[in-house]
Amino acid sequence: MEKIYDYTLSELEELLVSFNFKKFNARQVFEWIYKKAVLDFNEMSNLSKDLRSFLVENFTFSNLIVNTHQVSKDGTEKFLFELEDHNFIETVLMRHDYGNSVCVTTQLGCNIGCSFCASGLQKKKRDLEAYEIVLQVLKVAQITKERVSHVVVMGIGEPFDNYDKTMKFIDIINSPYGLEIGARHITVSTSGIVPKIEQFSLETKQVNLAISLHAPNNEVRTKLMKINKVYPIEEVIRASKEYVEITNRRITFEYILLEHINDELKQANELSDLLRGINCYVNLIRYNDVVEFNLKGSSEERANAFYLKLKSRGINTTLRREKGGDIDAACGQLRSKKT
């Protein structure tokens, strides 16, 4: 049986037309499952009996089981979901003044192996299917009974290592007949897989791109991110500049602040020199400590000094406090405890 949440609108339209149904029937199905959250094809009253029978015979609704649900004092909620194959994935809901943002996982485990990230404690078992990513958004909305207005693809795994399924997921949640989450409210984060950044530059989705930089030079970045040995910082910056030129969109650089590793003022100067002239935004993040790693997040004083130095040198930047510090909010923490 096919998974109904694994179909984009255009795929469902093509399939239904091939079985002599109408193209607009696909829009009707999308509205039932995404806008009305109906989980029974027989309840889709404006569909013909033949179409309802076809859907029942060929499609199934999948589900995620909540294994663990943590709620932070700052309103952040973290979910450990069990998949149908009994593997576990993490999803995080973050509440902001502009709406609710869900951070989704794209892989079971991660092979990137960044030295500060709990995701890499579990090596990749497999890529998630598009429907398994879609279900994370649906399930959070169902549990909280609140609308999800923003999505960040920054959970466990490297989204660009699961590129096609990630793009398919975006098509599904962006559909005006589906969850209708605006493209500019969706952000995909990558550790810097240069060929995929180049491919993403040619997409027409208007989705935001964030690159995990975390260092101003190859020496520091290679210590923190093994992927820098394959795609050094010069290549990442070149691809970033091309992305901005092709898309005319601003790019975000994520920079986790680690005390005495990448938070020196001379490194802020180096970072500002590296990024000067790029239409970009630097998202500074104070590190959520992970017990397995001997790393410490920057003090508030050092983080503020780094932030002010970038600002003084003309770099558009913000200093974000990590949410969910009182729960297992860092990527991979909750799953690592379970597995």
Q: Name the catalytic one among 103, 110, 117, 331.
A: 331
Here the tokens at position 37 are 């959250």
Here the tokens at position 11 are 């795929």
CA distances from 65 to 34, 106, 187 (A): 19, 17, 26
Q: Helix, strand or coil for residue 238?
A: helix
Q: Helix, strand or coil for residue 285?
A: strand
Q: Helix, strand or coil for residue 194?
A: helix
CB atoms within 10 A of CB 8: 20
Q: Name the catalytic one among 13, 90, 129, 132.
A: 90
For residues 136 and 122, what is the distance between their CA atoms, to the nearest angstrom? 20
**Beta strand 77-82 pairing with 65-71:** antiparallel
For residues 211 and 273, what is the distance between their CA atoms, to the nearest angstrom? 17
For residues 286 and 248, what is the distance between their CA atoms, to the nearest angstrom? 29
* Count helices and strands in the chain by DSSP H and E runs: 11, 14
Here the tokens at position 77 are 């909620």
Cα radius of gyration rounded to whole Å, the chain: 21
For residues 295 and 292, what is the distance between their CA atoms, to the nearest angstrom? 9
20: left (phi over 0), alpha (psi -120 to 50) or beta: left
Is 90 designated active site?
A: yes
| DSSP structure string for 126-161 | EEPPHHHHHHHHHHHHHHHTS---EEEE-SSS-GGG
Is 129 designated active site?
A: no
Q: Looking at the annotation, which residues are catalytic?
A: 90, 331
